[in-house]
Structure 1
Amino acid sequence: MANLTFTLRSGRRVGVTTLGDPSASRVVVFCHPAPGSSVFDPDPDESADRDVHIVALDRPGYGSSDPWPFGTWPSIVRAADDIAEYLRDLKRFEGPLGVVRPATVGIAGWSAGGRVALAFAARHPDLVDRVAVVATPAPNEQVPWIPPELQKLSDELGQQPPDVALSRLSGMMQGQADAVHAADGEGAVPLDMLGAGPADAGALQRRGLRDRLGRMLIDAFRQGPAGVAGDVLSYTARPWGFDPGDVQAETVIIGGQADPLAGQAHAAWYQKAIPDARMEMVPGVGHLVIAQAWGRVLSHLAPGTAS
């Protein structure tokens, strides 16, 4: 579970996981997938080899974070605003302690987390200078990827009161939570709900990756399926709430060429939508490309910090 909690001005509590050197000058924010939580480190060796302070927040309903407040629609932009509030408070807290950091951070998002990273960059340009979007599906209306019957369900849920929609979808996703809770150990947690497929067999041979993903999923479902249900509603039932074209930070789009969920067509859409974005595709890798690409992500977000 997260190693600390932060209370927002609204009173909602957010779980926060921190990695690396807490006094490092460069802060890197990592936005987890759906389902997911802040405890996941894509590659601990790469993280340790950088002079960075890595911060990740549990989105509402995941891990150690309170659920979305009653009557509130799950929202990509509100999740991004939680990150901004945490970072601004961190600066106020660290100043009197003599910790001086640059005004801006780097932010990465894997899969659903990529949307949150982009929303953060679009809404808080004063806080970010570099972005990495990894294996993030494009809007379904731009690059179709959601089965029509599921998108129809999301459209119907989008017309319901938020608590009704969240309750209905949570009930439908209870099976995911049950499967994770029934697993015998972190290494036995089913990873198909993360989009892992045959092309990821090689990635899953990486030391400790299967266990780290399993640990993340166990933490993600500690409160049941409400976290992932909220995420799904935030990007399928309602508008995203931001324009990727507003991102001013230096952005790289990374994808796995063998990713059946968010492959090259998705990466190409983001490259066109975000000003001056670069696209990099990793051959022979699927949706778990984050594990292989984490070193590249950190080199983009925190250049010059390798030890």
Structure 2
Amino acid sequence: MISCQDVSSGDGRVLRAYDSGLGDAVGTVVWHHGSPQTGALLEPLLVAAAERGIRLLSYGRPGYGGSDRVPGRDVASAGVDVGRVADAFGVERFAVMGASGGGPHAIACAAVLPERVDSVVCLAGIAPLTDEFDWFAGMVSPGGLRAALDGRAARERFAEVDEFDPAAFTPADWDALGGEWESLGADAQRAGQAGSGGLVDDDVAFTSPWGFEPASVAAPVLLVQGGQDRVVPPSHADWLHRRLPRAELWSRPDDGHVSVLRACGEAMEWLVVNRTG
């Protein structure tokens, strides 16, 4: 049975966290949700984890799903928060897995908690802002990230007029959202209805210094990337693949930003095989 628990961050904040309630015969994975999501565990993830004997934890990043907002947070701060969540559930070592906006935060955990994180999966995750390639090229709707370059106030103003562009998703994405990943769309709507604070803070964090260098990550990292992704284009995974010391790249040429999540089950198996602990 899934349990929900409010965890103290240690600095007066609350982090809303979830536990699949399943045994961890082969290990525990901490899931990092996309932008925007609530942090609740979604059915496809629960099924994939249960089939593989994996215990699944997750939490809402600050500003999402009942977790207190932290304007000015950087990507690396996720490592500290996840350490608190893992402690609250009695977990010492674990793997991390994140999609879209959760991908960078999953990688951050390996940088901040190298003694605790065994392995990492990043699906459709954005790369740090750089001029080494055209960072915005291939994004159908980069308005939020462009606004974030001008700071939090500019990003908050953009949030007041922002509208989702359906063209950001491919036919394969819409097929996944109408099928096994329907719960993701519903969860994103719930997160959006609760306000834009978490999404604003994510975008500002992505376009600011992350607080760590990818080259510092010692754990094995699997990058899973859809070749048709219109939200986070393949160039981001390519850049991360070159910078992460122990990275492996799974390219899925026919997938977009959501349909790539169909690889979650296989990616969980990779996490178990590549445990360093």
**TM-score normalised to the size of structure 1?**
0.77
User: How far 1:281 sits from its partner (Å)?
Assistant: 0.8
> Counterparts of 1:2 and 1:144 in 2: how far apart (Å)?
43
**1:226–1:149 Cα change, 3 Å:** closer
Amino acid at match of 2:129: N
> Counterparts of 2:185 and 2:15 in 1: how far apart (Å)?
21
Alignment of structure 1 residues 56-71 onto 2, 5 Å: 56-68=58-70
> Counterparts of 2:215 and 2:229 in 1: how far apart (Å)?
25
Determine if the alignment matches structure 1 residue 127 to structure 2 residue 91.
Answer: no
Of 134, 158, 162, 1:144 maps to 134
**1:74–1:280 Cα change, 3 Å:** same
> Counterparts of 1:76 and 1:273 in 2: how far apart (Å)?
17
User: How far 1:25 sits from its partner (Å)?
Assistant: 5.4
Partner of 1:51: 53
Q: Which is greater in Rg?
A: 1
Partner of 2:98: 109
Higher helix share: 1
How many pairs align?
267
Post-superposition CA distance 1:83-137 (Å, at most 9, x none): 012213433xxxxxxxxx6x42110110111111111101110111110111012
**1:150–1:292 Cα change, 3 Å:** closer
User: Is contact 2:225-2:234 (8 Å) kept?
Assistant: yes
> Counterparts of 2:253 and 2:146 in 1: how far apart (Å)?
33
Q: Kindly indicate whether structure 1 or structure 2 has the higher relative contact order, using CA contacts under 8 Å at least 6 residues apart.
A: 1
Amino acid at match of 1:17: Y
> Counterparts of 1:153 and 1:199 in 2: how far apart (Å)?
29
> Counterparts of 2:60 and 2:143 in 1: how far apart (Å)?
29
> Counterparts of 1:81 and 1:214 in 2: how far apart (Å)?
28
User: How far 1:217 sits from its partner (Å)?
Assistant: 1.4
Partner of 1:7: 8
Partner of 1:182: none
Further displaced range: 256-265 or 55-64: 256-265
Partner of 1:94: none
**1:64–1:192 Cα change, 3 Å:** farther
**TM-score normalised to the size of structure 2?**
0.85
Unaligned ranges ≥5, structure 1: 92-100, 158-164, 180-189
State the SS of the aligned residue for 2:85.
Answer: helix
> Counterparts of 1:229 and 1:273 in 2: how far apart (Å)?
27
**1:278–1:4 Cα change, 3 Å:** same
State the SS of the aligned residue for 2:264.
Answer: helix
> Counterparts of 1:235 and 1:19 in 2: how far apart (Å)?
29
**1:3–1:281 Cα change, 3 Å:** same
Determine if the alignment matches structure 1 residue 302 to structure 2 residue 277.
Answer: no
**1:2–1:292 Cα change, 3 Å:** same
Identity of aligned residues (%): 26
Partner of 1:34: 35
> Counterparts of 2:256 and 2:104 in 1: how far apart (Å)?
19
Partner of 2:169: 196
Post-superposition CA distance 1:170-214 (Å, at most 9, x none): 3421356xx7xxxxxxxxxx7849x5333423323433x22x123
> Counterparts of 2:155 and 2:270 in 1: how far apart (Å)?
37
